[in-house]
């Protein structure tokens, strides 16, 4: 049986693993993080399973593809996913004054009842996959015997086929000189843009639970406590900085920018920044499709004769669904190829 290693246990890695498994293969997954999920990142404020939680990466996702629709419907029925219907507003600064206006729509927004990270982890657990976390890949080199994988702890691994799902810059670094011959990595440094994320405990806003920002430093804020279906005077809010601000300050620790983002959230919602407490800060260096993102129609890049595939949301227009489509397409290419025959 062909030995397949998937680097990265986010949504793209999950989709590739599930489709390969359905075809009779037993892929292994390795991820540098403490748990699977990638940018579907969730934390609880305490170790207690029932503690309040917040998503600080992807906030929700939508569905367009029929295949992804089938997966989502099954997970809705199983309770792995839920629909979220927040009261949404848009915020814009006009002549120095923030205008907050209702922005309702009927879009289906999908969340994990205990966070999006839990959704990914539960699907991978249901598949019974061999997953190693907290294992950082340093490089991957092809030779006459397939692929040699070197880890940062000095250990090594081998595989016949490798699927890379990290962001473009990281994938290029792992492949070394070989990356120069891969069109999808031609502008790897610009394939994804950054996002600074700040989670704060702040007063609940009864008439709005999510805000899209049309100007300023922020792009989006969301009430995680409302997502979880919980009550209380103080809620956990995720603030995402916009791409221009994030890229301009990509090398600045998010903790140093938090006060600016909180002040803007407070001003836009007519609150006091002093009433907000920082819970977590995180810089996503590779978060959104950038100016150098490849054509989304390609979905993935494969060299099946070499046992190599590259997948990720950055190859498929961004979004959680894009990551899933990319991982599925990479698996399909490999399953159909003689290299896995």
pLDDT digits (tens, 9 = 90+) for 37-88: 999 999 999 888 888 999 999 999 999 999 999 999 999 999 999 999 999 9
pLDDT digits (tens, 9 = 90+) for 100-120: 999 988 899 999 999 999 999
Q: Average pLDDT, whole number, for the chain?
A: 94
* Cα 102 to the center of its chain, rounded Å: 27
How many Å apart are CA 39 and CA 115, to the nearest integer?
A: 12
Has residue 339 got a pLDDT over 60? no
How many Å apart are CA 136 and CA 33, to the nearest integer?
A: 8
- H or E stretch at 116: helix 116-127
Instruction: Give the bridge partners for 81, in sequence order.
Output: none
Has residue 340 got a pLDDT over 80? no
CB 104 within 8 A of CB 87: yes
pLDDT given for residue 50 in this prediction: 83
Average pLDDT for 168-178: 95
Confidence band of 337 (pLDDT split at 50, 70, 90): confident
pLDDT digits (tens, 9 = 90+) for 263-309: 999 999 999 999 999 999 999 999 988 888 887 778 999 998 899 99
How many Å apart are CA 31 and CA 336, to the nearest integer?
A: 26
Nearest residue to 187 (alpha-carbon basis) of 328, 314, 8, 9? 314
Q: Order of strands across the sheet with 4-7?
A: 130-132, 28-30, 4-7, 161-164, 308-310, 301-303
Q: Which residue has tokens 């692929």?
A: 147
3-state secondary structure of 212: strand
How many Å apart are CA 154 and CA 22, to the nearest integer?
A: 33
Average pLDDT for 255-261: 97
């Amino acid at each position: 049986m062909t030995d397949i290693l998937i680097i990265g246990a986010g949504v793209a890695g999950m989709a590739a693993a599930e489709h390969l498994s359905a075809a009779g293969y037993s892929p292994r997954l390795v991820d540098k993080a403490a748990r699977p999920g990638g940018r579907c990142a969730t934390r609880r404020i305490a170790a207690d399973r029932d503690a309040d939680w917040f998503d600080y990466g992807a906030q929700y996702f939508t569905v367009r593809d029929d295949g992804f629709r089938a997966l989502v419907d099954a997970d809705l029925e199983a309770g792995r996913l839920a629909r979220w219907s927040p009261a949404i507003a848009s915020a814009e600064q006009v002549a120095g004054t923030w205008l907050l206006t209702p922005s309702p729509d009927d879009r289906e927004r999908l969340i994990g009842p205990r966070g999006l990270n839990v959704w990914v982890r539960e699907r991978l657990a249901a598949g019974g996959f061999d997953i190693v976390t907290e294992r950082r890949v340093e490089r991957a080199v092809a030779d006459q015997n397939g692929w040699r994988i070197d880890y940062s702890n000095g250990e090594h691994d081998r595989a016949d086929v490798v699927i890379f799902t990290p962001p473009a810059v990281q994938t290029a670094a792992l492949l070394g000189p070989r990356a120069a011959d891969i069109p999808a990595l031609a502008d790897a440094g610009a394939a994804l843009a950054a996002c600074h994320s700040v989670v704060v405990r702040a007063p609940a806003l009864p008439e709005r639970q999510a805000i899209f920002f049309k100007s300023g430093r922020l792009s989006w804020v969301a009430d995680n406590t409302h997502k979880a279906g919980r009550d209380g005077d103080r809620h956990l809010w995720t603030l995402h900085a916009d791409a221009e601000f994030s890229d301009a300050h990509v090398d600045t620790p998010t903790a140093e920018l938090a006060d600016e983002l909180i002040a803007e959230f407070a001003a836009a919602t007519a609150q006091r920044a002093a009433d907000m407490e920082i819970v977590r800060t995180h810089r996503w260096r590779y978060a959104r499709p950038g100016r150098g993102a490849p054509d989304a129609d390609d979905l993935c890049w494969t060299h099946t004769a070499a046992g190599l595939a590259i997948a990720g949301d950055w190859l498929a227009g961004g979004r959680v669904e894009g990551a899933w489509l990319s991982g599925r397409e990479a698996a399909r290419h490999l399953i159909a190829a003689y290299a896995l025959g």
